[in-house]
Amino acid sequence: MKSIYLDHSATTPVDKRVADVVRDCMLDNFGNPSSIHSFGREARDVKENARKIIADMINSSPEEIYFTSGGTEADNLALLGYVRKYDDRGKHIIVSSIEHPAVLRTAMELDEELGFNVTYVEPDEFGTIHPGAIAEAITDGTILISIMHVNNEVGTINDVVAIGKIAREKGIAFHTDAVQSFGKIPIDVEAMNIDMLSLSSHKIYGPKGVGAIYIRKGIELQTRVFGGKQESGVRSGTENLPGIVGMGLAAQISGEIIDQEARDIGNLRDELSRLILDQLSNVKLNGHPTNRLPGNLSLTFYGVEGEALLLTLDLQGIGVSTGSACSSGKSDASHVLTAIGLSDEDANSTIRFTLGRSNNLEDIQQTAEIIINTVNRLRSMSGD
Q: For residue range 228-240, what is the model confidence (pLDDT) as tens digits? A: 889 988 999 999 9
Confidence of residue 196 (pLDDT cuts 50, 70, 90): very high
Instruction: Write down all domains in the chain, each with its CATH number in brackets.
Output: 4-12+258-382 (3.90.1150.10), 16-253 (3.40.640.10)
Long-range contacts of 166-172 (CB under 8 A, 24+ apart): 166/131, 166/134, 166/135, 166/138, 167/134, 167/193, 167/195, 168/193, 170/138, 170/142, 172/138, 172/142, 172/143, 172/144, 172/145
Question: Do residues 116 and 91 touch, judged by C-beta distance below 8 A?
Answer: yes
Residue 323's pLDDT band (boundaries 50, 70, 90)? low
Nearest-angstrom CA–CA distance, 180 and 279:
30
- The answer to whether 215 and 188 have CB atoms below 8 angstroms apart is no
Q: Could you read off the pLDDT of 117-155 as tens digits, one per residue?
A: 999 999 999 999 999 999 999 999 999 999 999 999 999
pLDDT band for 2, please (50, 70, 90 cuts): confident
327-384 pLDDT per residue, tens: 555 558 999 999 999 999 999 999 999 999 999 999 999 999 999 999 999 988 876 5
User: How far is Cα 25 from Cα 17, in angstroms, rounded to an integer?
Assistant: 12
pLDDT, average across residues 276-289: 97
* Residues present in the chain in total: 384
| Residues labelled catalytic | 326
